[in-house]
Chains A and B, each alone.
Chain A
C-alpha cells in the first residue's frame, strides 16, 4: 500500500483539478473545503512517505510494472520525499490565505480556474520531484511552466500580460534547450532513465566529450533560465511584481526552487562529480552565484515598488543557494537546502503580508509604507520578521542558513566568498531596514491618531502568523529540519 502513495498523491491532485469545474453551480464553499481536505491528505501522506523513507530507505515505483530499462520510473527517496513535504505544507498555508482573499485583481469568477491551475501546478511539482526519467521531467516541466505563467496572467491588469508574455517566451526557450540537451544525451547513451544515463555517461565520457559538454551546456542553461540564476533573471522581477500576491508567494517560494532542485538532480545524479569537476562547473556556479547575490541586492536598492524589490531580493537569495550548491561539498549543499526551505518560508511571509497591506491600503510604493506599522500591526510585524530573516539577524531562520553557508565556505577554503556573503548581507540591510524603520519608528503624530484598520479575516491572518512563527522557530531550533537535511544530502553523494 505504501508503495502506491506517490501515485495516489498525484492522482488526488489531478482528480481535484478535474472535479473543480463540475462545482460551478454548487455552493462555492463546498469545493473550497474539498480542496482543503485534499491538500491536507496529500500533506499527511507525504509526511508518512518521508517517515517511511527515512526508516526503510528509498524505493522505486515502476509504471505498468515495466522495469526502468523500458518504462518510466519514480524514485522516492529522502530527497524527493522531504521536498514534497515542504511544498505541500507551504502550498497548504498559501491556500488557506487565498481562501478569503478575493483580492488584487483575481475576479470572483476566476477562482475556480485559479484553483484548477494551482492543483495542476502542485501535481507537476510532485511529478518533477519524484520522476527519475529525463523526458518525463521535461513533460512535467512544461506543465509547470504553462501553469506558472497562467497564475500570473490570471490577474487582469495591464502589466501582467506583458510580464507573462516575457515569462512564456523565456520559459519556452529554456524548455527547448533542455529538450535539445536531452536529445544529445539520448543520442550517445540511448537511455532516458537518470541512473542508466549516469552509468553510461561515466563510461563514454572520454569518447564523446564534446557532445556531453554541449548537452550539459544546453540542459543547465535551460534549467538556469527557469531558476532565474543571475544573468538569466530578467523575467523574474516583472513576473513577481505584477502577479497576485498568492501567486508571487508560490512562484518565488516554490517554483523557482523546484528548478534549482532539478539542477541539483542533474548535476549530482546524472553528470556525476567526475564530469562536473572536469568542466569547472564549480567555479561557474560560484561566480554566477556571487554575482547574483551582489547585483540582485544592488538592483533591489533602486526599486520604488515593494513587490519588485522583493523580486530582485529573490534574485540575490537564489545567488546564495547557487553558491551553496556550487561548493559541491556536503556542508555547502546542506546550507543550500536549508536556505531553500527558509527562503521559501520567508518570501511567502513577505509576499503574503504585503498582499494584506496592498489589499487594505491599495498602496504598493515604498514611500507609502510610512507608519503603516501603527495601522496594520500584525501583518507589518510578520513583514518585519521576514525582512530580518532576509538580512540574517540572529533568532531567524535566515541567520542559520547564512551561518551554515559561511561555515561551508570556510571549510572549502574559499574565504573570498565569505566576504561576498557579508557584503550582500549588508546590502540587504540597506533596502530592508528603511521599510521596517519607517513603518514602525516614524514618530508621526498623525499616524498615531489613525486607529488601526486591520480587519483581516482570521483565515487570512492565521497563515501569515504561522509563517512568522515558523521563521522564528526554525531560527531557534534549526535541528528540527537540519537532521533530515543531513540524510537528504547523504542520498546525493
Chain B
C-alpha cells in the first residue's frame, strides 16, 4: 500500500514537471533565452581575451575561475573528511610517535 502511494506520488510529480517543461522555451535554437549576450560575449571575445581556443576551458579557468577554485576545495575537504572518518592512528604508530618525541 505504502509503495503504491509513493509510486503514485512520484508519477504525479513527474507529470507536473513535464507539464512545466512543455511550457518552457525548450527548442534548442539560437533564440533560446539562455543563448543571450553572455554567450555571444564568450564566443566572440573569449579567444582574444584569454588566448584559449577551447571556450569551455576559457570560461572554467578564467571567467568563472573562482567556481573552479571552490570545487578543488571541495576535493580537499573530501580528503580531510574521509581520512577523519577512516584513518585511525593505530596504537603501534602512536607509540612509535611518542618514542620519537
Contacts and interface: CB of A to CB of B under 8 A. Distances in A.
A208 B81 contact: no
Given A64-B62, A208-B24, A190 B77 contact: no
Given A188-B24, A188-B33, A208-B23, A117 B77 contact: yes
Contact of A187 (B33, B76, B89): B33
Contacts of B33: 187-190, 204
Contact of A150 (B20, B84, B88): B84
B12 interface: no
Nearest to A153: B85
A116 B70 CA distance: 15
Interface stretch (A106-114, A248-256, A396-404, A460-468): A106-114
Chain B: interface size category = 35 or more
- The DSSP consensus for interface residues of chain A is helix
- The DSSP consensus for interface residues of chain B is helix
Contacts of A153: 81, 84-85
Interface in A347-364: none
Contacts of A142: 74
Contacts of B37: 69
A71 B64 contact: yes
Interface in B4-29: 16-17, 19-20, 23-25
B83 interface: yes
Contact of A146 (B62, B66, B81, B83): B81
Interface in A192-209: 204, 208
Contact of B77 (A150, A186, A204): A150
B48 interface: no
Interface in A111-136: 113-114, 116-117, 120, 123-124, 127, 135-136
13 contacts: A14-B73, A64-B65, A69-B37, A120-B76, A139-B74, A140-B70, A150-B77, A150-B84, A156-B88, A188-B24, A190-B34, A208-B24, A211-B20
